[in-house]
């Protein structure tokens, strides 16, 4: 899958489930439930124990899946992720070295940024998207809307505090996609292996995104 195809897939689907769990087994369970729901994209954060092995297993078993690496902290980690099949890289903050590495490797990258200055720097560095994180702390959808006014050309991903109550509002405010973690993958659903719970939430978010886009 080319960089252009990954970019287009993220924009088309509009949701990036973020798997941030306490074991590899939990992460693989969550990934299976997400894929069952019809979402072909997911992010495995590097805070998951054995995250590299999880990405490797998902990339090997599901070549059609757009699996990426989240919370990437340096270029060595980024290299390890790409070597096992990660198709995109994302960071909680703006790290120029990681963006430059991704550009050299023709890999989709979206660094985290929060302030206008950080967003400008991230976009000018060559990022494919800019992840506004943590978006909720500065006003949520209202902040996203205020950013899109001066930055209409920058594809922004809302992340951090996105939930069922505000997902549609983020899309209306101009977010090209939503990064969602614990509000999609509940701890109780993981503990009790409630695959249907995760699938149901996934369907709800997909429906919210589709309906919100239809009204724009």
Looking at the 3D structure of the chain, how many domains does it have?
A: 1
pLDDT tens digits, one per residue of 108-162:
999 999 999 999 999 999 999 999 999 998 999 999 999 999 999 999 999 999 9
pLDDT band at 176 (very low <50, low <70, confident <90, very high): very high
d(Cα 162, Cα 158) in Å, to the nearest integer?
7
Q: Summarize pLDDT for 67-124 with one digit per residue, the tens.
A: 999 999 999 999 999 999 999 999 999 999 999 999 999 999 999 999 999 999 999 9
Domain that holds residue 102: 3-214
Give the separation between CA 205 and CA 12, rounded to whole angstroms.
14
Sign of CA dihedral 45, 82, 31, 163: positive
Band (pLDDT 50/70/90 cuts) for residue 216 is confident
Task: Render pLDDT for 8-38 as a digit per residue (tens, 0 to 9).
Answer: 999 999 999 999 999 999 999 999 999 999 9
Residue 195 pLDDT = 95
Give the DSSP letter of residue 197.
H
Token digits of residue 2: 């080319």
pLDDT given at position 8: 97
Candidates 116, 118, 68, 70; CA nearest to 94 is 118
Distances in Å between the Cα of 18 and the Cα atoms of 96, 115, 168 are 22, 22, 18
Active site residues: 43, 131
Q: Tell me what pLDDT residue 116 has.
A: 97
Nearest to 48 by CA among 20, 67, 71, 70: 20
CATH code for position 68: 3.20.20.70
Question: Concatenated DSSP letters for 102-124?
Answer: HHHTT-EEEEEE-SHHHHHHHHH
* Cα distance between residue 209 and residue 13, in whole Å: 9
């Amino acid at each position: 899958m080319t960089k252009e195809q990954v970019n287009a897939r993220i924009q088309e689907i509009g949701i990036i489930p973020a798997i941030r769990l306490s074991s590899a087994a939990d992460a693989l369970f969550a990934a299976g439930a997400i894929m069952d729901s019809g979402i072909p994209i997911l992010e495995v954060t590097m805070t998951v124990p054995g995250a590299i092995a999880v990405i490797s297993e998902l990339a090997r078993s599901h070549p059609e899946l757009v699996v990426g690496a989240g919370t990437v902290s340096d270029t060595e980690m980024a290299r390890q992720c790409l070597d096992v099949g990660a198709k995109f890289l994302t960071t909680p903050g703006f790290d120029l070295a990681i963006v430059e590495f991704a550009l050299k490797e023709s890999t989709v990258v979206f660094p985290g940024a929060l302030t206008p200055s950080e967003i400008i720097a991230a976009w000018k560095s060559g990022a494919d998207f800019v992840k506004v994180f943590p978006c909720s702390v500065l006003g949520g959808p209202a902040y996203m809307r205020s950013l899109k006014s001066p930055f209409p050309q920058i594809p922004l991903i809302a992340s951090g505090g996105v939930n069922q109550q505000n997902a549609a509002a983020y899309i209306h405010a101009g977010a090209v996609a939503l990064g969602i973690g614990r509000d999609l993958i509940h701890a109780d659903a993981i503990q009790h292996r409630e695959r249907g719970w995760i699938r149901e939430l996934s369907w709800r978010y997909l429906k919210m995104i589709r309906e919100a886009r239809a009204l724009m």
